[in-house]
Chain A
Amino acid sequence: MFDRLNVVAASVFVFFFALVTVLGFIAARWKSADLNHITEWGLGGRRFGKWVTWFLLGGDLYTAYTVIAIPAVVYAVGAYGFFAIPYTITIYPFLYLTLPRLWAVSHKHGYLTAGDFVLGRYGDRWLELAVALTGIFATMPYIALQLVGLEKVIGALGISGEGWLQEHAPITIAFVVLALFTYKSGLRAPALIAFVKDAMIYIFIIAAIVIIPYQLGGFGKIFDAARVAFEAKVAAKTVPAAGVTLLPGQIGPYVTLAIGSAMALFMYPHALTGTLAASSGRAIRQNTMMLPAYSLVLGLIALLGVMAIAADIKVKNPQDAVPQLVLWAFPDWFAGFCLAAIALGALVPAAVMSIGAANTFTRNVWKPFIHPQMSSQEESFLAKLVSLIVKIGALMVIFFMPTQFALDLQLLGGVWMVQIFPAMILGLFTRWFSGPALLIGWAVGMVVGTALAWGEKAWVPVHALKWDIPLIGIIDSGLGFAAYNGLTSVLANLVVAFLLSLLIRPSAPDETSPADYEDRVVA
């Protein structure tokens, strides 16, 4: 099991892992309060100021999987992987306009989840359930992918096993530790760990962006090597399209993937949990100006993909490119540090995701449909329990499902997640749309999005805007380019919700009033 073990790198790695484990348990006493209350356990008591929120959201959104997957795409096909940049640029102006309103109304009415808000706004139980289940099902494969990131890093340290048990032992241990401190400390644990993790990621990337191009003879040589590699790949037809800049056929998917992903991101339970834990709308606004610092880091990390090509790193799975590049470029002790940074990058989002899913299940599935008279203590207990179950579920996904399937599911999860965008975001500004209309729009979007993704061999994220529908014939949008399924399907969702809202006028009560959405004047 330890034949190829890199002792120095592994020791540094284990040291940092042990450090955050201790932090995770100490976190229970930080800003101490009664953790048997769900707002305390699952939302840190809404007491995180601008800096804690910055570290928490940065650690929560820019996950280990992202740090592995984005440069993997750049390594494999080049410019296309940079869609992450317009994606992250588009997010923050949008957040600036919307999330402080959601925070204000949630603070006023004690909402913890997207489902809570939807129920309060539209008074529709079934829409609440739809929003909650979408969040839970989209989050599960996302947590599983954090494990994939963790597994890649542990593999790079030289720990590998022959047997099934040995192969999975390291991530099982890591995840059990994670599950225990999340159970005990709730959202405080990832918030405290995020400080360490984010600081480590910044050190890693600053070192990488200076040292590696120096070793490789500058960016000019790096991109020259990449150009040759992509041209060879296209000529050999191993990939349909690759290049240092985008090919004409890639532009449509590039833009629509960026827009669709930006619309989906803050619908996820983990993103909302991190945001609603802020102490004020002002803290969220300030974060929309501060969080782009992480986008810059992500952009630089994406460049590691082309550096790996120039460093002549040959891996069967592109997701191994970054860990291998780190081992190639740095002395063992610093490689261990960098790999630990990526691994901790899996723990923070995995913790927040499981808390977000647990809050959602407790508040929007169990409480309304099974046990309406739950006390706050019972809510907190159930949420803790569900956070454990969710993590075991993610571990099972990794054990028993092919990784490619988890990856496809996560892509599909993004398409599902964006379907709650109309109910959530339109709801922050208007009550013109009615609950039943939004619910039917959601269902249409789910079916269209899933159907578009259905491919012969694998699920595909983009689809030409031209369909051959049995019995109806060929429908061509005339736009002549392919688009991200999430965007196509949410547009269908919006049209249906709009048309049906003309017919079905809202009749259910709205417990919010326009003033609830405005920030209170903070003295």
Chain B
Amino acid sequence: MKLLILLLPCVVALWVPLYNFEPPALFGMPFFYWFQLLMIPVSALAIFIADRIGKA
């Protein structure tokens, strides 16, 4: 479970067809850019959750 949570953001970030297009734009920024930027805090959160699970 812990491993899965750690792996998930990596797989999403490397799965280019998931985000390689322009609409929907956010404040004029194409999806390609804002989605990848958004994945950064999401990946940090995933590590945080995995860490909590590890401790329990």
Q: List residues of A whose CB falls within 8 A of some B CB.
A: 79, 82, 85-86, 88-90, 92-94, 96-97, 218-223, 244-246, 251, 254-255, 258-259, 285, 288-290, 292-293, 295-296, 299-300, 303
B49 nearest in chain A by CB position: A289
A220 nearest in chain B by CB position: B28
What residues of B have a CB within 8 angstroms of the CB of A293 in the complex?
44
Contact of B20 among A219, A245, A299 (CB under 8 A): A245
Query: Is B14 interfacial (CB-CB < 8 Å)?
Result: yes
Q: Cα distance A78–B35 when bound, in Å?
A: 16
Contact B10 A285 (CB under 8 A): no
Within the complex, the shortest CB–CB distance from B18 to chain A, in Å, comes to 11
Q: Cα distance A499–B52 when bound, in Å?
A: 38
Given contacts A85-B40, A299-B40, contact A244 B16 (CB under 8 A): no
Q: List residues of B whose CB falls within 8 A of some A CB.
A: 3, 6-7, 9-10, 13-14, 16-17, 20-22, 25, 27-30, 32-33, 36-37, 39-41, 43-44, 46-48, 50-51
Besides A86-B14, A255-B16, 5 other A-B contacts (C-beta < 8 A): A90-B13, A218-B27, A218-B28, A246-B16, A288-B47
Contact A289 B25 (CB under 8 A): no
Contact A85 B36 (CB under 8 A): yes
Contact B25 A89 (CB under 8 A): no
Contact of A223 among B6, B28, B47 (CB under 8 A): B28
B15 nearest in chain A by CB position: A255
Contact B41 A96 (CB under 8 A): no
Contact of B14 among A219, A255, A303 (CB under 8 A): A255
Contact B14 A221 (CB under 8 A): no
What residues of A have a CB within 8 angstroms of the CB of B3 in the complex?
97
Contact A285 B51 (CB under 8 A): yes
Given contacts A220-B28, A245-B22, A289-B48, contact A89 B10 (CB under 8 A): yes
Given contacts A86-B14, A245-B20, A251-B16, contact A292 B43 (CB under 8 A): yes
| 5 A-B contact pairs sorted by A residue (CB < 8 Å) | A92-B47, A219-B27, A220-B28, A259-B14, A296-B41
Contact of A82 among B7, B21, B32, B46 (CB under 8 A): B32
Given contacts A92-B44, A255-B16, contact A245 B32 (CB under 8 A): yes
Contact A82 B16 (CB under 8 A): no
B17 nearest in chain A by CB position: A251
Within the complex, the shortest CB–CB distance from A384 to chain B, in Å, comes to 37
Contact of B46 among A93, A223, A245, A255 (CB under 8 A): A93
Q: Is the interface of A mostly helix, strand, loop or mixed?
A: helix
What residues of A have a CB within 8 angstroms of the CB of B22 in the complex?
244-245
Contact A89 B50 (CB under 8 A): no
A97 nearest in chain B by CB position: B6
Within the complex, the shortest CB–CB distance from B48 to chain A, in Å, comes to 5
Contact of A222 among B21, B28, B41, B46 (CB under 8 A): B28
What residues of A have a CB within 8 angstroms of the CB of B32 in the complex?
79, 82, 244-246
Within the complex, the shortest CB–CB distance from A68 to chain B, in Å, comes to 20
Given contacts A79-B32, A246-B16, contact A96 B37 (CB under 8 A): no
Contact B43 A93 (CB under 8 A): yes
Within the complex, the shortest CB–CB distance from B35 to chain A, in Å, comes to 10
What residues of B have a CB within 8 angstroms of the CB of A292 in the complex?
40-41, 43-44
What residues of A have a CB within 8 angstroms of the CB of B36 in the complex?
82, 85-86, 89, 299
What residues of A have a CB within 8 angstroms of the CB of B13 in the complex?
85-86, 89-90, 258
Contact A220 B25 (CB under 8 A): yes
Contact B33 A303 (CB under 8 A): yes
A244 nearest in chain B by CB position: B30
Contact B40 A258 (CB under 8 A): no
Q: Cα distance A259–B47 when bound, in Å?
A: 18
Q: Cα distance A296–B38 when bound, in Å?
A: 9
Q: Chain B CB within 10 Å — which of A79, A221, A290, A303 has the most?
A: A79
Contact A289 B47 (CB under 8 A): yes
A258 nearest in chain B by CB position: B14
A87 nearest in chain B by CB position: B13
What residues of B have a CB within 8 angstroms of the CB of A303 in the complex?
33
Contact A245 B41 (CB under 8 A): no
Contact A93 B29 (CB under 8 A): no
Q: Cα distance A138–B47 when bound, in Å?
A: 30
Contact B21 A221 (CB under 8 A): no
What residues of A have a CB within 8 angstroms of the CB of B17 in the complex?
251
Contact of A245 among B6, B30, B51 (CB under 8 A): B30
User: Closest 8 CB pairs between A and B?
Assistant: A220-B28, A219-B28, A93-B6, A89-B13, A86-B13, A292-B44, A85-B36, A219-B29
Q: Cα distance A100–B51 when bound, in Å?
A: 13
What residues of A have a CB within 8 angstroms of the CB of B51 in the complex?
96, 285, 289
B3 nearest in chain A by CB position: A97
Contact B44 A223 (CB under 8 A): no
